[in-house]
Amino acid sequence: MTTTARDRLLDAAVEAFAEHGFGGTTTRDIAARAHMSPAAVYVHHATKEELLFAISLRGHEHALEVLANAASTSDSPVEQIAAMVQAFSEWHARNSRIGRVVQYEFGALSAEHRAIIADLRRRMEHHLQDALVAGVDEGVLEVTDVRGTARAVLSLSVDLVRWFEPGGAHTAAELGRLHADLAVRMLRPGPA
């Protein structure tokens, strides 16, 4: 697969933002990492914030697709939750640099762009909320605050971007399985 100039630019921006933050990165830094002239950045994006938005949009859309696909693998709410948490954790581990940028630089987006990303985040939460409600209705899950629980469970996966580095003690798949198991055990009714 051929890497385009725009792809090189996005990859360079992810690395720069992940290392130095949005505020600590200049378009010159990004261009140098992409082996391009500083003017080339503006050929593809009018501002540094638009570049951040492109990264955030692509990352969130892909993560939403991962959740939706996982949710569709079963009719069982418990299996859906396990599949979603496993897939979401694996995605965050495998894409920890992108995840770090889109999680920690949300506030650097314009109000218009934040609203678009916030909508994608709500859609992610809804996938988990739907499975939680179905599990409660079937009596196989115990949840008193569906919205708060969905956020807490998704946070297991999102938090990986803070500390996960490839080649560490656990693989992305191992962490995915661990998080899925933890999530399901947290949500099952306790002993009477």
Q: Find the range with the poorest average confidence among 1-10, 78-87, 93-102.
A: 1-10
Q: In this structure, what CATH number is given to the domain that contains residue 41?
A: 1.10.10.60
Please check the confidence at residue 5 and state whether its pLDDT lies above 90.
no
Checking if the pLDDT of 142 tops 80, the result is yes
Collect all residues with Cβ–Cβ distance below 8 Å to 167 and sequence separation of at least 6: none
Residues 148 and 170 reside in one and the same domain:
yes
Average pLDDT over residues 155-178: 90
Same structural domain, 79 and 153 = yes
* 67 domain-assigned: yes
Domain that holds residue 41: 1-46
- Within-domain flag for 192: no
What is the number of domains present in the chain?
Answer: 2
The verdict on 71 and 117 lying in the same domain is: yes
| pLDDT tens digits for range 29-70 | 998 998 988 888 888 888 899 999 999 999 999 999 999 999
The whole-number pLDDT of residue 25 equals 92
- Kindly state whether residues 24 and 93 are assigned to the same domain: no
- Grade residue 192 by pLDDT with cuts at 50, 70 and 90: very low
Would residue 173 count as lying in a domain?
A: yes
Q: Within 13 A of 135's CA, how many CA atoms are on the CB side?
A: 29
Distance from C-alpha of 188 to C-alpha of 8, rounded to nearest angstrom: 45
Cβ neighbors of 114 (< 8 A, separation 6 or more) are 106, 107
Last residue of a domain, one of 46, 64, 80: 46
Q: Quote the CA–CA distance of 111 and 108 in Å, as a whole number.
A: 9
pLDDT band of 190, cuts 50, 70, 90: low
Assign residue 114 the CATH number of its domain: 1.10.357.10
Same domain, 94 and 119: yes
Share of the chain above pLDDT 70, in %: 97
In a domain, 175, yes or no: yes
CA distances from residue 89 to 94, 97, 99, 154 in whole angstroms, order as listed: 9, 14, 11, 8
Fill in the amino acid letter for 117: I
Is 1 a residue whose pLDDT tops 60?
no
pLDDT for the residue numbered 14 = 93
Given this model, what pLDDT does residue 38 score?
83
Same domain for 89 and 30: no
pLDDT at 4: 84
Which range scores top for mean pLDDT: 3-17, 31-45, 120-134?
120-134
HEC readout, the chain: CCCCHHHHHHHHHHHHHHHHCCCCCCHHHHHHHCCCCHHHHHHHCCCHHHHHHHHHHHHHHHHHHHHHHHHCCCCCHHHHHHHHHHHHHHHHHHCHHHHHHHHHCHHHCCHHHHHHHHHHHHHHHHHHHHHHHHHHHHCCCCCCCHHHHHHHHHHHHHCHHHHCCCCCCCCHHHHHHHHHHHHHHHHCCCCC
